[in-house]
Structures are given as structure tokens and as C-alpha cells.
Amino acid sequence: MAQMVINTILFLLIAWFFASRLLPARDVRTIDAADLKKELGNKKVQYIDVRTPLEFHAHHIHGFKNIPLHELKERAHELSKEQEVIVICQSGMRSTKASKLLKKLGFQQVTNVTGGMNAWR
């Protein structure tokens, strides 16, 4: 009986861990690659790519600034909290984390590109 309770608790913790990483961030707008193509070039929007520099230099979208996810907290001052920020990565996982972080840091308008560069190609 005790083992069953422990297994249930462990299962719930693991499920919560993965769900919290896969669910979209609260108050973050999501767009797909097709919507991004329509929005590119808007001078009022800040575009950031949170992939590694190596990934970014191999292939990136013109107009995006590379701020790797692991540097975002320290480099967030390079962005305006009053302007919309559109975030992309390779698959959408890191950009989701980045979007959550930006909201936590006080950015008002954050948009995540679902599917990331995989969907862009």
C-alpha cells in the first residue's frame, strides 16, 4: 500500500514537471511560422532567437538578434519592456522557457513562435 502511494506521488511529480515545461506560458501570445512571416519587418517589434550562437550562425531569420537562452536573464536589459518581443528557437521549447522568463522579468508583450526554426523551413 505504501509503495502504491509513493508510486502515485512520484508519477504526479513527473507529470507536473513535464507539463510545466510543455504548456504555454501564461499571458504569452503564440504564433506559428506562417503568422511570423506576416509580422516580420514590423519596426515596433523586437525579434530574438534564443538558440546557441552556432545554431544561429548556421541558419537564422534576417532581423532576429541572437540572445542565447542561458544569457537572456543577464542580457534582458538590451530589450525594451514596453515593446513586443517575438521569441524563436529551434523547436519551440527554449523559446517557451525564454517567454516565461521575459514575462517574469516584467516584459509586457511576449510572443512565442511555436515550432521554431523547424517550422520555419
DSSP state letters, 72-108? HHHHGGGS-TTSEEEEE-SSSHHHHHHHHHHHHTT-S
- Which SS3 state, helix, strand or coil, does residue 32 take? coil
Burial label, 120 (beta-carbon count in 10 A; 0-12, 13-18, 19+): middle
| CB-based contact 105:76 (threshold 8 Å) | yes
What is the spatial distance between Cα 56 and Cα 47, in angstroms, rounded to a whole number?
13
| CB-based contact 115:92 (threshold 8 Å) | yes
The verdict on whether 89 is a catalytic residue reads yes
| Active-site hit among 89, 98, 102, 117 | 89
Q: Indicate which residues carry an active-site annotation.
A: 89
